[in-house]
Amino acid sequence: MAERRAGYRQIFDLRAALIASVIGTIAFWLTMMALDTRTLSSPWFTVHAAASVISGPEALSNPNLFNGAAVASGLAVYLGLGLLFGIVISALIHEFGLIVGIIGGGILGFCTYVLIYYIATNFGFAHDLAKFARWPLEMGHVVFGAVVGGVYESLERARYVRS
């Protein structure tokens, strides 16, 4: 954490936020592949579920098999949402340091899970996602937030402007 300066405020580092968001999205994807393999015996289930947002229910026809189009669609959804939520997480924790970045990022990552899987499904944005809410997704989102927070705080360049 950079030293606070009286009369100045720290500027948000968008470059660090974008890098942290991409790394967090990759960590989320790898975590979900590992947990899906462990719990469902297929690493492709969550990717197919994410692809169903773009491709519709046909992406879920056989989620246990590798399908290049479904994986590409799923990764596009992961990356789009990962950038959005990663920048929000980075903006919320950017002044607090590495430990708060990791712990606060994990908490905010869980909040993204709640946002996506409960609020969006109840308001009709993605009805089919509600049936995929399960504990590995909760863990994946916590890992995402913690990685984003930690990487952002590690890469952030401390720059200040007069308040």
DSSP string, 61-93: SSTTS--HHHHHHHHHHHHHHHHHHHHHHHHHH
Give the count of beta carbons closer than 10 Å to the beta carbon of residue 22.
16
3-state secondary structure of 160: strand
Q: Are 125 and 109 in contact (CB under 8 A)?
A: no
pLDDT tens digits, one per residue of 80-103:
999 999 999 999 998 888 999 999
Question: What gap in Å lies between CA 21 and CA 41, rounded to an integer?
Answer: 28
Task: Please tell me which residue, 62 or 88, carries the higher pLDDT value.
Answer: 88
Grade residue 69 by pLDDT with cuts at 50, 70 and 90.
confident
Q: Are 94 and 10 in contact (CB under 8 A)?
A: yes
pTM equals 0.86
Q: Are 90 and 109 in contact (CB under 8 A)?
A: no
